[in-house]
Amino acid sequence: MHEFSLIEKYFTWANPPSDVAVAVGDDAAVLNIPKHTQLVTSVDTFIAGVHFPENTPPEAIGHKALAVNLSDLAAMGATPKWFTLALTMPEIDDAWLGDFSLGLKKIADQFDCFLIGGDTTRGNLSITIQVMGVIEQGKALLRSGAKAGDRLYLTGTIGDAAVGLATLLDNFSLAAEDKHYCQKRLNYPSPRLAQSQIIKRYATACMDVSDGLSQDLSHIINASNVGASIDFSKLPLSPSLQSLNHQDAVNYALTGGDDYELLFTIPADKEDAFLKEMKQKVTCVGIINDDFGNIRDQDQNQLSGTGYNHFNGK
């Protein structure tokens, strides 16, 4: 198959939304940005063997490559609109492309995010997606607004994806249904866009947890010039994580990445109103304080921020 028929078959989507003036097929896309909004954009590269095991199902690769980008928009409080796809692959494999583009299209449709262009090249498998969204002027949710006294919250549960990865790479043994659940959390993360629309009206700071709670929390406290304490007994653990030895479960929850939950801070006087409106699961795991740069547990022990770091030791 020729590169152009490949693009036409898999990546030229029907029925572009009205805010897409020119989509795939010309030299560049042309977009109508809604009045009184700011453009919010983020890019993530996904490399086989680094960001996902080589044998990950292609449908999951398509899903996750967009999901992690949508999660960045959720962390900012933005509404997804469009994305571009730079795809590098070793060969043209119709079955692979069919499954990959299906996974991509399903999640794109779910969150109304339209593919407007990209680039296709030959090489080791790598997927780069740049996502674009919009937000009302001045309303973006940053990492830098947390204040002493704010409550520290998480959506969903954490540690699942890291356990899922351990079952794939390290032969970590787990009951079949727990294994299935954790691998699904690893391969099919759900960007917390619905939650983010409520969070953005109450939170002082927000980010998505991609590298592990302790490391990602250190970004919020450094950006906000504050400290934080976490109560380990409050960490939201799925039934699958609760089936592990408790210390292991807490370690996965603190240092495991890839869950794509939102970590955010809510001022104490807004907590009741926030909780009344938020119907999905959220959990208060700690509090922001003025112990600058430090994260401590319930016994005042200092946490080391050890999540995933691509350049560790290099």
- Give me the residues that bind Mg ion (CB under 5 A), please: 27
**Residue 133, binding choice from Mg ion, ligand ADP, none, Cβ under 5 to 8 Å by partner class:** none
Q: Of 4 and 292, which has the nearer Cβ to Mg ion? A: 4
Q: Are 3 and 122 in contact (CB under 8 A)?
A: no
Among 58, 80, 117, 159, interactor with ligand ADP by CB under 6 A: 117
d(CA 219, CA 207): 9
* Residue in 88, 110, 120, 306 binding ligand ADP, rule: CB under 6 A: 120
Question: Could you tell me if 251 and 162 are in contact, meaning their C-beta atoms sit under 8 angstroms apart?
Answer: no
Question: Any contact of residue 27 with ligand ADP (CB under 6 A)?
Answer: yes
Question: Of 27 and 299, which has the nearer Cβ to Mg ion?
Answer: 27
Residue 60 near which of Mg ion, ligand ADP, none (CB within 5-8 Å, type-dependent): none
- Binding to ligand ADP, residues 35-94 (CB under 6 A): 85, 87
- Residue 211: both structure tokens together: 């590298």
Q: 89 is in the binding site of which of ligand ADP, Mg ion, none (Cβ under 5 to 8 A by kind)?
A: none
Q: Is 11 in the site for ligand ADP (CB under 6 A)?
A: yes
Burial string for 250-262 (b: 16+ CB within 10 Å, else e) reads bbbbbbbbbbbbb
User: What span, in angstroms and rounded, lies between the C-alpha atoms of 11 and 85?
Assistant: 9
Kindly indicate which of the ranges 20-28, 186-194, 240-248, 288-296 contains the residues binding ligand ADP, using the contact rule CB under 6 A. 20-28
7 binds ligand ADP per the rule CB under 6 A:
yes
- 266: closest CA among 278, 254, 255, 258? 278
CA 79 → CA 4, 74, 84, 172, 215, distances in Å?
A: 31, 7, 16, 38, 26
| Residue (59 or 216) nearer to ligand ADP, CB | 59
Nearer to ligand ADP, 86 or 223 (CB): 86
**Any contact of residue 213 with ligand ADP (CB under 6 A)?**
no
120 interface partner picked from ligand ADP, Mg ion, none, CB below 5 to 8 A per type: ligand ADP
Distance in angstroms (rounded) separating the CA atoms of residues 66 and 115: 10
Site residues for ligand ADP, window 228-287 (CB under 6 A)? none
Binds ligand ADP (CB under 6 A): choice among 66, 74, 89, 115: 115
CA–CA gap between residue 231 and residue 207 (Å, rounded): 19
118 sits near ligand ADP (criterion: CB under 6 A): yes
The smaller minimum CB distance to Mg ion, of residues 29 and 285, is found at 29
Interface with ligand ADP: number of residues (CB under 6 A) = 13
Q: How far apart are CA 47 and CA 168, in angstroms?
A: 17
Residue 205 parent element (H or E) = strand 205-209
Check: CB of residue 260 under 8 Å from CB of residue 182. no
- Residue 249, token pair as written in the block: 């479960």
Q: Which residues bind ligand ADP (CB under 6 A)?
A: 7, 11, 24-27, 85, 87, 115, 117-120
